Amino acid sequence: MSIKCSEKEIFNISDFKINELNKKAREIRAYTITAISAANSGHTGGSMSIIDILTALYFHELKYNPKNPDWEDRDRLFLSAGHKAPALYSTLGLAGFFDINEVVKLRRFGSGFEGHPNRFKVPGIEASTGSLGQGLGIAIGSALNAKYENKKYRVFCIMGDGELDEGSVWEAAMSAAHYKLDNLIAIIDRNNLQIDGLTCEVMEIEPLREKWEAFGWKVFFCDGHDIHDIVTKLHYAYEVKDKPIVIIADTIKGKGISFAENNYRYHGIAPKDGLEGKESLKEALANINCDSFSIEKAKELLGNVCQYQNKVNDLVEKNIPKFSTDYFWNKSDKMKVEMFPNRSGFGKGLDFIGEDKRVVVLGADITESIKMNSFYQEHKERKSRFFSFGIAEQNITTVAAGLAKEGKIPFIGSYGVFIAGRNWDQIRTTICYNNYNVKIIDAHGGISVGPDGGTHQALEDISNLYYLPNMKILVPADSIEAEKSTIIMKNINGPVAMRLAREATPLVTSYETPFEFGKANIIRYRGIQDNFIDAFDYKLSCDYFSENEDLAIIASGPVLTEAMRAAYILKEEYNIETRIINNHTIKPIDEDAIIKAVNEIGKIITIEEHQVGGIGNIIAGLVAKNQIVKEPYKFQMIGVKDRFGESGQPWELMNIFGLTAEFIAKSSKDFLNL
């Protein structure tokens, strides 16, 4: 609840200036919601809730030079809640850092306006952010430098209230007070909502005043949508000595857009009705009521985005290898597929194994996104076995260990970059060293996460997990394999991780397809059929006998579907026979299937939606050490080449990164010297 100043305490700022700032805030809102609508994705709620704060900072408080973004004496602002980047982009554009009209290319490949801020692509961005809980630490480092160098610049850090679930925030808070950083002002966007709902229900963070004061900070409250109040509290903050300052700003998630206000569903979506309708861009702009920004202007900008996207499409299309026909999914009346996210299969499997009362689920504020809500959605009695911990992967991991010690089978999950990265030490020492029976859902793996960009695209997670003793790893190709994997992992004693993609991918297996933990499947293309799945034979590796194929392609996860489509292209275009090895179990990997392929074929390509070598080096290593390899062999790896991902549409990125069947087929042909 905001604590207002008395009239005598109000900072002296003219009504004219306040009116001008309010107009600027409306303009920022108009550009921001138009950009999110143009992207058809993005974080509406949080972006809207911080705009008045950004307006007060950039148009009244901060020292900066948009013509010289790296000016040494500038004030620094760090957006720790990086998913609110659309608001920051619009603010920076209107502040003169770049052409404001460019922000409508939000989340488009090559635009620079990534789903989360990238400091190398947008002037005015101080740090690339997106992994919550880390921005305050960066800000502390910057403020420490100012103290050490006797610089006068001030440091600001904007955080979300859900972000306060992260323990790293409180470690940072303790250190800021220890070093008496009175040049540091943290601002909390206290809108009371996060992805899974109300902050008080996901993870209670109150009493905030008492917590921050206990950590040694000076605390102010303000109305986060009253620019007069924001400016006043900032000026009070400047008078504080020997303490860092936190301003807790009361805000409304989705502020200024009626259908988004206080609606947690609008955490990460664009206006769902598009351009027209009750929940549309037109309605949002009418709510904002910005004199300088009409629906006609929005339509003009959307047209510019279409032109930009057409150029991107042409560039992507130009670089895709061409064949006698278009082999892409569902482009003809033959070889049809259905598309499902493999996380949906996990949801079905979790629903099934939830009958076992030992199974418990620990949510990390993305419960619905990764389908963990399937555990209790149709079984309300199971809700007592679901525990919400908010954005706190390290805590979830160690709590799960304690539950496992007492005989439960805990499932924990989050985006792969967080659940297999942030808490790697907890997984290593607490889970694996103790060999506790914890199941890890490594969700949203690979670049096909799409518009969220590099901070949310897990490309290192398999390597992170593989070398941990006692860990087992499953990487299902489609939703049916994900369902089977979920049931299997529940029945394996000890740590097990399963990697899932986010987007819908082709269904290339059935419930009748053989599936055995630790045993690869051999897949062979037989000829064009009405349905893609019927064009292939599937056998367990132990039941398969050589057909003297020309090439072996080894794949895991949804990229298997591209390996299968590559085998289809290679046969139809060049009469090349391909043995596809589906290593749905990465650890323990099926060594026999791989060594047989080396001995019987001698030409091996690995394909992975991961940093190249994550799986390829595992396979290369076991081949190199194996003493029963009889013949010389050739080996090639295809994957992401030592770079981070970036924003774009899922299939667009798969083509740009060279991971679709067309690129695999061309590489295979070149590899065979044909």
Task: Determine if the peptide bond prior to 588 is cis (ω within 30°).
Answer: yes
Q: Which two tokens stand for residue 248?
A: 């807790």
| pLDDT for residue 8 | 36
By CB atoms closer than 10 A (0-12, 13-18, 19+), residue 355 is: exposed
Alpha helices (H) in 57-180, listed in sequence order: 85-94, 135-149, 167-178
For residue 16, give every residue at least 6 positions away whose Cβ sits within 8 Å of its Cβ, in sequence order, or none: none
Q: Which long-range contacts (CB under 8 A, 24 or more apart) does 396-400 make?
A: 396/362, 396/364, 396/423, 397/423, 397/426, 397/427, 397/430, 397/431, 397/438, 398/426, 398/430, 399/362, 400/362, 400/431, 400/436, 400/438
Given pLDDT bands bounded at 50, 70 and 90, which one contains residue 11?
A: low
Task: Report the percentage of the chain scoring pLDDT > 70.
Answer: 98
Weakest-pLDDT range from 218-222, 454-458, 623-627: 623-627
For 454-502, the pLDDT digits (tens) are 999 999 999 999 999 999 999 999 999 999 999 999 999 999 999 999 9
| pLDDT for residue 1 | 28
With 80 as the cut, is the pLDDT of residue 613 above it?
A: yes
Cα maximum dimension of the chain: 89
Cα 183 from chain centre: 32
Q: Mark residue 336 as left, alpha or beta (left: phi above 0; alpha: psi -120 to 50; beta: remaining).
A: beta
Q: Let me know: does 420 contact 461? Beta carbons within 8 Å.
A: yes
State how far the Cα of 76 lies from the Cα of 72, in Å rounded to an integer: 10
With 70 as the cut, is the pLDDT of residue 3 above it?
A: no
With 50 as the cut, is the pLDDT of residue 30 above it?
A: yes
Rounded mean pLDDT of 604-612?
A: 97
State how far the Cα of 67 lies from the Cα of 482, in Å rounded to an integer: 51
**pTM for this prediction:** 0.95
For 122-147, the pLDDT digits (tens) are 999 999 999 999 999 999 999 999 99
- β-pair partners for 539: 522
| pLDDT for residue 258 | 97
| pLDDT for residue 630 | 72
Rounded mean pLDDT of 49-61?
A: 98
- Residue 366, classed as helix, strand or coil, is coil
**Amino acid making up residue 657:** F
Q: Let me know: does 66 contact 122? Beta carbons within 8 Å.
A: no
With 90 as the cut, is the pLDDT of residue 199 above it?
A: yes
Give the chain's domains with CATH numbers.
7-11+18-299 (3.40.50.970), 340-506 (3.40.50.970), 521-671 (3.40.50.920)
State how far the Cα of 116 lies from the Cα of 85, in Å rounded to an integer: 6
With 50 as the cut, is the pLDDT of residue 442 above it?
A: yes
With 80 as the cut, is the pLDDT of residue 9 above it?
A: no
With 80 as the cut, is the pLDDT of residue 628 above it?
A: no
Rounded mean pLDDT of 13-24?
A: 92
With 60 as the cut, is the pLDDT of residue 178 above it?
A: yes
| pLDDT for residue 333 | 95
- Residue 522, classed as helix, strand or coil, is strand
State how far the Cα of 384 lies from the Cα of 408, in Å rounded to an integer: 13
**SS3 per-residue string spanning 420-470:** HHHCHHHHHHHHHCCCCCCEEEEECECHHHCCCCHHHCECCHHHHHHCCCC
| pLDDT for residue 13 | 80
With 90 as the cut, is the pLDDT of residue 112 above it?
A: yes
* Backbone φ and ψ of 254, nearest 5°: 80, 20
Q: Are β-strands 521-525 and 536-540 bridged in parallel, bridged antiparallel, or unpaired? A: antiparallel
For 68-77, the pLDDT digits (tens) are 999 999 999 9
Q: Which two tokens stand for residue 269?
A: 């979506």
Rounded mean pLDDT of 347-373?
A: 95
Q: Let me know: does 188 contact 247? Beta carbons within 8 Å.
A: yes
By CB atoms closer than 10 A (0-12, 13-18, 19+), residue 322 is: exposed
Rounded mean pLDDT of 550-567?
A: 98
Rounded mean pLDDT of 83-108?
A: 98
State how far the Cα of 403 lies from the Cα of 398, in Å rounded to an integer: 9
More confident residue, 626 or 23: 23
For 368-405, the pLDDT digits (tens) are 999 999 999 999 999 999 999 989 999 999 999 999 99
